[in-house]
Structure formats: C-alpha cells, structure tokens
Amino acid sequence: MIKKRGTFLAAFLAGMAILTLLDQWTKSLAVRHLMNQKPVVLIPDVFQLYYSENRGAAFGMLQGGQTFFMVVTLAVLGAVAYSLWRIPLKKRFAPLAFCLLLLASGAAGNMIDRALQGYVVDFLYFSLINFPIFNVADCYVTTGAFLLVFLLFFYYKEEELACFSPRRHKEEKA
C-alpha cells in the first residue's frame, strides 16, 4: 500500500509541476508580448489578451492583502495534502484527485507570482461581458472548484467520503 501511495503522490506532484509550469509559461509570454502593448483582439468585441497586474484576489478584491492570500493559499495546499493522504486509491476517486490537482496547481501558480512579484499577472479578458481579467491558474481553480462541488453533490455518496473525516481517522487508530 505504501508503494502505491508513494506512486500516486509522485504522479500528483509531477502533474502539479507540469500544470504550474504551464501557468508560469503563459504568464511569462503575457509579460513579454502584452506588457505596455495594446490588447490583442482574438475575437472582436468578445475576447482579447490584455495585460494586467492584479494585487488583489479574484475580481481585484482585497487589494494589497498579500499576507492574507499567502495564508489562504497555504491552507488550501494543506487541505489538498490532507485529502491526498486520505483519498482511497481506487479509480472511483480519480475525478476527485483531478479536482485536487487543478486546485493545487492554480493556487501554487498564483502564489508564485505573489511571492516573487507582489502581484498576479492576468491576461485573459472576455470583453463581451466585461468579465474580470484572469489567467490560466484562475482557470484551474475555477474548473477544479466547480467539478469538486459537482462531484460532492452528484457523484459521491456520503459514506464514500467518510474516509476524509478526522473523527474516523482517530477511530481507525484506536
């Protein structure tokens, strides 16, 4: 079982590294090609690449709260780590692991920006609905959170999720 768990965690970390590197690469492209430039219109009046530096959270809220964001990100990564340790190594839980992968990768990608630059690079803009500018890491987090909610409400049964209960964990040790 330890060998399987180790392989699972190694695969998760490799996937997280790949997704985080992809996010960082797209942000470096945005800095290189979009910073101090006019937006690149991909679909007129609908979608464009528009460089922005976000010093807040989603939708620009809580500007300048870098310490708060770091604490929240570390808490999210801690919750993901706990869940990975407790998740049953069965195919049925692969969708849950994928959601955790997206959440962790997105959180890590934006945390790297905040730690190194003090802001997050955003560059994807839906002008049709004037949606806030976002980035690839934001896509990971949004998709992962949406899928997680869907799985918890419609895919997994309550008893299947009992493995994540700290109370059950204590009972298993006793």
Annotated catalytic, 45?
no
E strand or H helix that includes residue 30: helix 2-34
Q: Which of 23, 45, 113, 122 is catalytic?
A: 122
Among 136, 112, 139, 98, CA closest to 12: 98
The residues that bridge with 85 in the sheet, in sequence order, are none
Question: What is the spatial distance between Cα 140 and Cα 117, in angstroms, rounded to a whole number?
Answer: 21
Among 23, 45, 113, 138, the active-site one is 138
State the virtual CA torsion across 37, 43, 44, 47 in degrees, nearest 10. -60
Spatial neighbors of 46 by CB under 8 A, at least 6 apart, are 126, 127, 128
Provide the 3-class DSSP secondary structure of residue 35: coil
122 in catalytic set: yes
CA distances (Å), 129 to each of 28, 116, 121, in order? 26, 31, 21
Q: Which residues are catalytic?
A: 122, 138
